[in-house]
Amino acid sequence: MDEVLLVNEVGPRDGLQNQKVLVARSDKLRLVRALVDAGVRSIEATSFVSPKAVPQMADADELFPLLPNAAQVDYSALVPNLRGLERARAAGVREVAVVLSATETMNQRNINMSLAQATAVCAETLQGAVGAGMRTKAYVAVAFECPFEGPVDPAIVLALVEQMVRAGAREVVIADTIGAADPRAVAKLMGRCAREWGADRLSAHFHDTRGFALANAWAAMEAGIRKFDSSLGGMGGCPFAPGAAGNLATEDLVLMATQCGFKTGIDLGLLRVAIALAEDLTHRKLGGRSAAWLDKQAQLQPVAGAV
């Protein structure tokens, strides 16, 4: 097998957004540089949201123009509305993402909008981005279960995906925002989406609240999905979703993909260097489920090759 698995590193945005330690802009750039050095070529770098709502992202306007290797790395940014889109354009962003929660209550609690209002804002923002010549993606959040309403009807998710595609989303990311999905549910939903819109238009975003993130990623891979969000060291979680633990760890995803014959272009040894830096910057221990094994392998064979 020589298939490519695309890893979209979300640590600099989703990973940092709710950390208690405020990370300086210069340190964020160091972290991004370490990821690029490890071979990561798709990175969600920041979000152009209200600084009051997410203080960690308050430097988005100044950060984005300074990102390294812009010609070789696909950098994206989250934008909540047209105002955020204009800020992103001014900062030189070429790919933007909108986030639409699949339930009424999640939208009300998160952005104080109804589902219908949030859908309209996301569609308007996507259309604006397309008109500006930008690449576009749309997240459908809490696609499996909502912390307020419980399990989500797959028919609702499918309808929202269709609306985002019609609005101009080049890519749609199905997100298990609180880590409540299981592999069977993932296989069913991702399979239905892939049959409807094609697997190459889809991506997946998993959290590891119940320890299922890697198994869910495999279920999505079995459904044909070849692009995934992940965060170095499993860092992150949603500040607006109670119970949302850390993301699928990039090192776990890369290790599994490599062992199963997929190519990611990411050097696990250098990725561990980036994780160590993230630990220093956030003042907390990080690491996915493979961390102990990777550390042991590093002691036996210090130099890792690209995988």
The residues carrying an active-site annotation are 238
Report residue 270 as tokens. Answer: 């250098």
| Angle of the 250-259 helix axis to the 291-300 helix axis, nearest 10 | 70
CA distance 64 to 73: 12
CA distance 163 to 172: 11
How, if at all, do strands 135-141 and 171-176 pair?
A: parallel
Residue 77 bridge partners (DSSP): 46, 96
**8 Å CB contact between 126 and 136:** yes
Residue of 73, 117, 122, 77 whose CA lies nearest to 97: 77
3-state secondary structure of 55: helix
CA distance 40 to 272: 13
Number of residues that make up the chain: 307
